[in-house]
Amino acid sequence: MKVALIGLGTMGSGMGAQLLKAGFALTIFNRTSERAKPLLELGASLATNPREAAKNAEVIISMVAEDTASRGVWLGPEGALSDVTPKSLLIESSTLSSRWVQQLAAEAAARACAFLEAPVTGSKTQAESGQLVFLVGGDSAVLDDARPVLQAMGREIIHFGPIGSGTKVKLLNNLLVGIQVASFAEMIGLAEHLGVDPESAARFISNGAPGSPMVKIAMQRILARDFTPNFSLRLMAKDLGYAIGEADEASKLPMTSAAKGIFDAGIEEGLEAKDLCSVIELFRARWAQAQPRAAGPRPT
């Protein structure tokens, strides 16, 4: 089966390697061709633009950063849809707004192509090991056709319903991730300010009622001060913005908005390309301007 993969960032590179491992004939495109080198060494072919990548492909997968990038790779004179073969299967795995996903589905239908949205949970490690979870929206018969490709890259495929449902669940997931990481970073910053041993406090709290898999990951990365990006702070701010955009005027999502404000502040401080757990540095910088308080009870 001929597969085209557009976007070789943190996730796309690992996905491409898994497709090649599974024996698919893979054509790839990325704005910066340097990122294609590892996949070329594994047998992929390099296209000069999305249109060339998609030409004659039976399945076309996009994994890019946001709505604008997705529009760019699908539409326009050099977009994948400009010369797509009718009855091709298009899979959008990026985390986008549901409004754009619905529009993209209509663009695919106008060209007699099948379409699925299939955003993922997992990060760099899961992409490189074929352990992603696909959150799918679209027709179940189309999903059946896509399963061999998705199974090559993931450990689980969850069908949530019609187009738009997979994206909405992904934004709900990332909404909670963003709030958890922001609140955990705030807690660690306060612990350090209070003179409490942050590692002892973090390990106790992460293993108690407030603990979650995401809190445990945040604890490890924050305590190690390892902010190599598995999921960048900038992308988390973007996803929280999309989640807010899904809400109606009656509900402004106050907690999500507060978390987004924290990540936006991190972007202003130059943390946008680092892992989202680097948001702790924002709190550390703020507390550094205040006088540390010694551990123990406050005087009465």
- Please provide the CATH number assigned to the domain covering 2-163: 3.40.50.720
Strands 45-46 and 114-117: what pairing?
A: unpaired
Please report, rounded to a whole number, the percentage of residues in the chain having pLDDT higher than 90: 92
Strands (DSSP E) found in 146-193: 154-161
Range 224-247 average pLDDT: 96
DSSP string, 231-291: SBHHHHHHHHHHHHHHS-TT---HHHHHHHHHHHHHHHTT-TTSBGGGGHHHHHHHHHTS-
What is the tens place of the pLDDT at every residue in 245-264?
Answer: 999 766 789 999 999 999 99
| In the chain, ranges of CATH 1.10.1040.10 domains | 168-288
DSSP string, 116-127: EE--EE--HHHH
Range 153-182 average pLDDT: 98
Tokens of 250: 């009656």
The answer to whether residue 96 scores a pLDDT higher than 70 is yes
Cα–Cα distance for residue pair 38/67, rounded to 1 Å = 27
Q: How many CA atoms lie within 13 A of 26 on its CB side?
A: 30
Residues 126, 132 contacting (CB under 8 angstroms): yes
Cα–Cα distance for residue pair 34/9, rounded to 1 Å = 11
Q: How many CA atoms lie within 13 A of 245 on its CB side?
A: 15
Of 94-103, 270-279, 281-290, least confident by mean pLDDT is: 281-290
Of the candidates 137, 133, 143, 134, the residue with the CA atom closest to the CA atom of residue 160: 137
What are φ and ψ of residue 55, in 5° steps? -60, 125
Strands 132-137 and 120-121: what pairing?
A: antiparallel
- Helix, strand, or coil here: 275? strand
Residues 91, 62 contacting (CB under 8 angstroms): yes
Res 151: pLDDT: 98
Tokens of 92: 């959008």
* C-alpha dihedral (287, 288, 289, 294), degrees to nearest 10: 70
- Please provide the CATH number assigned to the domain covering 168-288: 1.10.1040.10
Of 101-105, 197-201, 269-273, 288-292, least confident by mean pLDDT is: 288-292
Range 154-173 average pLDDT: 98
Res 294: pLDDT: 55
Cα–Cα distance for residue pair 115/289, rounded to 1 Å = 52
What are φ and ψ of residue 47, in 5° steps? -100, 155
The answer to whether residue 227 scores a pLDDT higher than 70 is yes
| In the chain, ranges of CATH 3.40.50.720 domains | 2-163
What is the tens place of the pLDDT at every residue in 39-60?
Answer: 999 999 999 999 999 999 999 9
Range 205-216 average pLDDT: 96
How long is the chain? Answer: 300
Cα–Cα distance for residue pair 214/229, rounded to 1 Å = 15
Of the candidates 37, 42, 45, the residue with the CA atom closest to the CA atom of residue 5: 45
Q: What does pTM read for this prediction?
A: 0.93
Res 252: pLDDT: 84
